[in-house]
Structure formats: structure tokens, C-alpha cells
Chains A and B, each alone.
Chain A
Amino acid sequence: MDLTLKVWRQPGPEAEGRFETYQAKGIDEHASFLEMLDLVNEQLTEEGIEPIAFDSDCREGICGTCGVMVDGEAHGPVENASVCQVHMFNYSDGDTITIEPWRAAGFPIQKDLIVDRTAFDEIIAAGGYITVPTGSAPEANLTPVDKPIADTAFEAAQCIGCGACVAACPNGAAQLFTAAKVSHLNLLPQGQPERYERVVNMVEVMEEYFGSCTNHGECQDACPKDISIDFIAWLNKDYRKASFKQMRAS
């Protein structure tokens, strides 16, 4: 199939960006969306135009490296998929597709379709872990975890940190990401000792970089791993409890 692409080009973080129009010709319907971009990049290279910079790595929907807005939707038209899992059989010959980077204050653009998501790592560094020394953990089966709890923690833990939730949010908020990380650990018995400290510290860093959550729910729709906004309720509950505890302590 033949397609027309409108792609955001921006040479560097400080440079001005704009849309350029390219033709993608002879695309196989079984090619993935990123393979289609590879092909366009081959054509551009041949023409002496610098290829479009975009992030991708595993191309199996798990590393969270890729992610672009496709026709205004984070990761494109397929539900519960990252853009590397979108295949061209979702499009028709002659379609025009607009591709741009995540747009959010917390994710500055680096080049073309690549953004900087280091803020997510800073949220994790603020408390998204369990303080267990390496090398001397207790026997694993000494701490049973109820299956429903383990399954719910797993659902939250599936977050791939791609940033689609932030990009889809009208406020550029990172509540779904933070909620998923907090809930995963706060649900498990292993996460209890630092439960309230964790949520406060992570929310603090989150607020430094990202906007506020006003319950639009767009994040949940955009999430390639179908992570539920119920976890945001969990986050808020633990955050409120933590605030009371802090008040009482002071």
C-alpha cells in the first residue's frame, strides 16, 4: 500500500520543529508500523535526507522504548498495544498518517520523535523499590502472598514506562505510571515497611515534573498494558493515609 506521512522533524532539543510530508510507497500489510518507518528511512537515506529519529528497541511491546502520537493517539489505533505492535493491516492504501512525539512538559523533545523520559527514573529513585540488601534474602516461601494480591500486584507491575499515559493526559500528568509503581509494591507484604514513605516521596518527585491529575481517564485508554485507573485511586488512598500519619507524627 502507499501512504502519506506527516512527520514531526526537530533537529535538536533547542531547535524549532515542523511537520514534513513524506511518501511511504509499497508497504506490505504485514509490516509493523516501525518497519514501515524503517522503509521510509531507507528511502530518505537514498535521497540524502537524514532519516527520522525515533526510539525503539525490543519491538515486542515490552521494553517501553518506542512511543509516538499517531493521528493524535498515543501508540496509534490498536488497543492495548505499543506502536511497535501496530501492523499495517490496520491501515488502507492511500491513508494519510500524522506522526509526532509525546507532547508533555515532563518529556522534553530530544530530536524528531525522541523525548527525554528521565523524570520516570527519578520517580523510581525516590522510593520505587524495596529496601532489601542484596545477597541475604530470607527463604522465598516463608512469605506467602495470597494469589489475588499477587495477581493484582502483577497487573500493576506490568507497566512498561513508555510514557503514553503522560502523552495522552490533557494535563500531562504521570499519575498512572506512578500509581502502577506504588501499587505494585504497596500491595505486597514485602512492600509494607516503607509503604507510606514510598508514596509520599514518589508523589513529591512526580509533582516536580508533571501536571495534576483531574480524572480524565485518557491514560487508561492509551496504556498499552491496559493498566487500570483503579490504581490511581489506590495511590490517592495511600497518599491520604500517609499525609494523616505525617500530620500525627508532627
Chain B
Amino acid sequence: MPVDQKLDLDAKIPDGSLEDKWDNHRFDMKLVNPNNKRKFDVIVVGTGLAGASAAASLGELGYNVRCFTYHDSPRRAHSIAAQGGINAAKNYQGDGDSIFRLFHDTIKGGDYRSREGNVYRLAQLSVNIIDQAVAQGVPFARDYGGLLDNRSFGGAQVSRTFYAQGQTGQQLLLGAYQALMRQVDRGSVTLHPRTEMLELVVVDGRAHGVVVRDLGTGEISSHSAHAVVLATGGYASAYFLSTMAKNSNATAAWRAHRKGAVYGNPCYTQIHPTCIPQSGDYQSKLTLMSEGLRNDGRIWVPKDPDETRPPEDIPESERDYYLERLYPAFGNLAPRDISSRAAKRMVDAGHGVGPQKNGVYLDFAGAIERMGVDGVEAKYDNLFQMYEKITNENPYRVPMRIYPAPHYAMGGLWVDYNLQTSIPGLFALGESNFSDHGANRLGASALMQGLADGYFVIPYTIGNYLAPMLGESPPPTSHEAFAEAEAEVRDKVFGLLSVNGTRSVDSFHKELGRILWDYCGMSRTAEGLEKARSEIRTLRDEFHKDVRVLGENETINQSLEKAGRVQDFFELAELMTVDAHHREESCGGHFREEHQTEEGEALRDDENYAYVARWRFRGLGEDPELIPEPLEFETVTPSTRSYK
């Protein structure tokens, strides 16, 4: 049950001009003397880009860091799968980029549902991230002069994306992981792999620890600290089929929410336009093809819905390059929400391609003609190989087939400018927080936010929180708050094991995912969302009565791990529908059919909805409480997004 407390809901955006906010704030924040840093214990949960970079930076500063990950190695966090790249306003290409332009593109791309102050800081820090990564030995693509190369990405008209072939996430994560392991070797960070956080511990209104389960032995233990940092990623796997890793979940953030941390914008999930279409019911996940492919691939569908010829036999005049037609200025690089919905409209109108007519073509024939097979190979070969392994089709000969899929959560734990949640001492970084991307995230910005938060924001802001606590010890794990949290965890774990029903965890998760995708996916209606909410509740009850989790707690038990996660997805899914239902407008990843222009584009309502929807948990089955955070635009004027 939530702790009854007065929540700190001030966004704490510093005064002053946009350019000076972060600098002024850094000067104003309190410092912890280097010799005193070792007197502070910090818990970091998660080892993706945000978690690993935060743990490494805090360890290096001198704090005592304990870092938890449910992976067998921190290097396996899902940031590793990001293919495309990382944005930075370096303007190395001299094509008109600047910090202000990156800021502006991000605010506009997010459909004016993010904070100016946060986004400007992100654009400023993007420049430092590249320096940091290169110094760590991240092998970014280079031109023949030995300097760094860039490419372009959706939602931008400049080339500001740094990349390492199609494996940028992997290379950046390995950089952060290596920095983390260096601190492990120095003894400043203690690593707890294969350990899952299952409860947050709040003492006197402050976050002071976590309860975790050892995934190998089932041991449930408490850990106390001065502050807790969550960097646990997003929740798109609530949809079951998504581009996320199988173990990605919402548990740590959700259980913090139940303890009082308010949630921001849960209905904003990103549907990424370029995934390989679903091929059957057995499927466990969807695979993304890098958005970078849209630099050279052209997207089209046959004009005739009854077309049966293979793509190469369909003449140019009978193809509809619909993105180039509808959005000539951005064409195939239109932002993700726009491109995704356009693909859905084409498929819904019967123009879909492939055996199930559930995709659109991403065609490289023109690129091969222009750059030669060698040229295309040099840029995209690993992606082409990946596509061929999955589909058994050679994309050098036939166009790829793509369709949108759930990919990234813009919503998450609400945080202030210091990345602190509404619970003092609990911080949330990267995808697990709601900030920076608004209602839609531009390509190559997720890696940027994860690393900015971990390397360059939290090292400052956590000091400001800790400084006044000098001399205070964190509460001992014998404190009753820990005992209560441990008891809650035990109840949940042993409760799931004792249901002994008839249906597997996956069967429930798939059914939940279907409801979310149908009613709270790429387009939503009031009627559909009401239906979804009631179906989710019914299914959740059935889950608690009829789930079958075999085995025991005291060994690796993957069904048990999944069951705990699905339990939380059920609760989060309901909140997603509530949030989507209340927001009577269309913006970014949230498209309400009731609110669209004559041309079928999203129709925003700035007068009534220019706010962050913050939700406070009031108990399961109760309506959550909405506490809006109004968004103020001092520098940019929200306007209709046009990519024409």
C-alpha cells in the first residue's frame, strides 16, 4: 500500500535563460567534499546505459555504490540492442546543426509535451557524451581522414547521429560496462548480478533501500543506503510482442510507484515504424530494423490493394511512395509516430504486403543502383544479414518488409529537474523516467538520454541531495520498514507459487498484450479504452486464481520471475488505459481517433492538455489520482507539427 505522505511535486526547473539554467544550477547545488563521499552509500538498480554510466561515475567520484542487475552480467542490459546511433549537436558536418536545433527538433518531435529546461540540458550534454565515449575507446564509424562520421535520422534534417555500424547500443554499453567493471576492480562498486529488486524501502518519507531476490538461490535480502537510483528501462513489453528483450519489465519502477512515486504519462509508448512484421502466433518478440535504414531505403506499397505480382515486377507508376508523397520535406525520414501511423493507414486500407499482408516495403533497389552493392554492404550489411536470418529472404534482391511495433516507453516515473522522483532520495534515470522525450521520441535519442543522465546529470544532482545528510547513517536493515517490505515480497513470491492453477504465465501475458495492442496501441478510442480497462481487470483476477507456476523459490525459477513481472504489467496496463482515456487529444505516440484532422493527422489540444499527466497510486482497483504538471513554453511556440 502507498505510504501516506506529502509528495514533493515541484519540477524544480532552475530560473534564468535556457542556455544558463544547467550552469547556474550546477553552481548553486551543494557539494560533497571528496573525503566525505565515501561516507555515503548509493544503490543503483539496472546496468544499461543509464545505470552502468551512473554506477561508474558515482563509484569514481568516491561514493560507495552497490549495483544490482537481474542479468548474469551487466553487459547484457537491453541498451545493447540499440542499432541506430546516438545524436549529438557537434555540427561536425557543418550542415546547420546546433545545440538549439537539437533542442528544437526534440521538443517539436515530442509534440510539445516535454519540458524546455530538461530538453535543452540534454542537447547541451549530448556533445560531452561523444567525447566521453570516444575516450573510452568506443569504435564509432570514421571517415578516411580518421575523424568521426555522422548520418541522419528520423525527425531531423541534419546529420548528427554518431554510429558504430548497426551496433551503436552495444558499443556504448560496453564502454559504460567497462567503466563500471573498472570501478568494481577498484572496490568502489559492489556488483550484484542475477539479483532482482522487488521492493523499495521508504523510511520517514525518504527512499532508503531495496529488497531483492537472488535469482539463483531465491534468497530475499534487504539493502540500505542513503539514496536509491533506478535505471531499469521501459515497459513496452507489457504488450508481450515488442522489440524489448524478454526479461525487460516494469517491476522495480512499478513497485516504487505503489510505494508513492508518481508515474508520468504512462500512455506514451512509442510504436517504432521499422520492425519485421509478425509471422505467427508462436512469436516471442519482434525485431527492429534500424531506423538508419530509412536514410537509403524507400518505403512504398502497391497502389492496387489486390496486387499479387512480386515487388520487382510492379512498375514505378503503380507504387505509392507514401511518405515521400505525404511529407515531401522529410520523406522517408519523417518522425516515428508519423511514419508508423502512415504505415498502419496503408495496411488498414488493404495495401499491406507479404504473406499476411501486414507490412510495407523498405526498398533498397535505388540505393543499390546509386551506391552499388558494395556501398550498401559497407553501410548496412550486418542489418541485411540479420533480416535474412529471420525471414529467409535476401534483402539485396527483394525489398524488406517492415511494420510498426511497440519499442520504447516515453512515460515512466515522474522526476524533477534533478531526476529525483516524488519520493526524496529515489532517483530515476534513462527510460525508466518520463522526462525529455515528450509524447514521441526521435531516433537516436534514447542512448543520448541514458548516458546524459548517468554520466553527466546524476553525479551532480545526487551530491546536492546527499550533502545535508552528512553524518547521518542510513537506517539499519533491521528497521521495521525493511521487515515490512521483505514480508510483502515473500507474500508475493510464495503467493504466486501456491496458486497452482491451470494456465501458464506466458498465456496470460500474451492475452494482456493483445488487449493493449488492440485498444491502447497505435490508435485509441474512448470506447476501446473502457473495454480494455474492464478486460484487463477480469484477466488480472483470473491470473491470480488460475496461474500455474511450477518449481520452487530456492532455485532458478524462470516461471516465477515471469509471473512477478506479469503481475506488475497487469497493474501498469490498467494505468496506461486510464491515462490514454483521460487525454482527450492526439499527440505523438498517443493517437485518439476522436481527435484528428481531416487528413488523419494528430490533433493536439494545447489549451487543455499541455501538461504532464502525473498519476498517484491509491490502491489496486481504486482510481488513481491525477496531478497535472503544466508545461511552460518560454522559448519555443508550440505549433502544428508539419513535416511536409
- Chain A residues proximal to chain B, CB less than 8 Å: 11-12, 27-28, 30-32, 34-35, 38-39, 41-42, 45-46, 48-51, 53, 55-65, 78, 80-81, 85, 87, 89, 110-111, 114, 116-118, 120-121, 124-126, 128-135, 137-141, 143-147, 150-151, 153-154, 157-158, 160-161, 184-185, 188, 190-191
Contacts and interface: CB of A to CB of B under 8 A. Distances in A.
Interface in B378-429: 385-386, 389-390, 392
Given A57-B247, A150-B142, A64 B148 contact: no
Nearest to B281: A28
Contacts of B71: 57, 65
B134 A42 contact: no
Given A57-B78, A60-B81, A63-B81, A130 B136 contact: yes
Contacts of B80: 58, 62-63
Centre residue among A64, A120, A137, A190 by max chain B CB count within 10 A: A137
Nearest to A129: B178
Interface in B251-297: 279-280, 282-285, 287-288
B22 interface: no
B245 A144 contact: no
Contacts of A134: 53, 56-57, 60, 132, 179, 455, 459
A65 B550 contact: no
Contact of B165 (A31, A130, A154, A190): A154
B246 interface: yes
Interface stretch (B3-11, B32-40, B551-559): B551-559
B174 A157 contact: yes
Contacts of A60: 81, 287-288, 386
B480 interface: no
Contacts of A133: 60
A117 B72 CA distance: 7
A188 B81 contact: no
B628 interface: no
The 10 closest A-B pairs by CB, nearest first: A144-B146, A129-B178, A137-B135, A140-B134, A154-B139, A137-B131, A125-B185, A57-B245, A134-B57, A125-B181
Interface of B: 53, 56-57, 60, 71-78, 80-81, 90, 92, 128, 130-137, 139-148, 164-165, 167, 169-171, 174, 177-179, 181-182, 184-185, 191, 193, 216, 245-247, 279-280, 282-285, 287-288, 385-386, 389-390, 392, 455-456, 459, 504, 506-507, 548, 550-551, 555-556, 558-559
Contact of B178 (A53, A124, A158): A124
A9 to B, nearest CB: 12
B129 to A, nearest CB: 9
9 contacts: A11-B555, A48-B550, A59-B245, A63-B78, A85-B390, A132-B132, A132-B179, A145-B146, A157-B174
Given A12-B555, A85-B389, A184 B137 contact: yes
A52 B280 CA distance: 23
Given A39-B282, A59-B246, A146-B146, 18 more contacts: A28-B279, A28-B280, A42-B504, A51-B550, A57-B247, A62-B81, A63-B80, A65-B71, A85-B389, A110-B216, A114-B556, A126-B185, A129-B178, A134-B459, A135-B128, A144-B146, A157-B164, A157-B171
A190 B131 CA distance: 12
Given A38-B506, A153-B139, A124 B550 contact: no
Nearest to B382: A158
Nearest to B559: A51
B147 A157 contact: no
Contacts of A41: 504
Nearest to A90: B392
Contacts of A139: 131
Contact of B76 (A11, A42, A57, A80): A57
B136 A150 contact: no
Nearest to A55: B72
Centre residue among B77, B130, B133, B246 by max chain A CB count within 10 A: B246
Contacts of A46: 504
A55 B73 CA distance: 12
Contacts of A116: 72
Contacts of B174: 157
Nearest to B149: A147
B264 to A, nearest CB: 27
A140 B555 contact: no
A135 B456 CA distance: 6
B170 A145 contact: no
Contacts of A11: 555
B147 A141 contact: yes
Contacts of B550: 45, 48-51
A157 B141 CA distance: 13
Contacts of A135: 57, 128, 132, 455-456, 459
A11 B80 CA distance: 30
Nearest to A54: B558
Contacts of A51: 550, 558-559
A238 to B, nearest CB: 15
Contacts of A85: 386, 389-390
A129 B147 CA distance: 22
Given A60-B386, A137-B128, A141-B147, A120 B73 contact: yes
Contacts of A42: 504, 506-507
Contact of A124 (B56, B92, B177): B177
Nearest to A186: B137
A32 to B, nearest CB: 7
A153 B167 CA distance: 13
Contacts of B78: 57-58, 63
A35 B504 contact: no
B72 A87 contact: no
A145 B133 CA distance: 14
Contacts of B144: 147
Contacts of B385: 80
Contacts of B455: 134-135
Contact of A45 (B184, B282, B390, B548): B548
Centre residue among B143, B178, B392 by max chain A CB count within 10 A: B178
Centre residue among A28, A51, A124, A143 by max chain B CB count within 10 A: A124
Contact of B137 (A78, A125, A190): A190
A50 B130 CA distance: 47
A131 B246 contact: no
B138 to A, nearest CB: 8
A8 B285 CA distance: 25
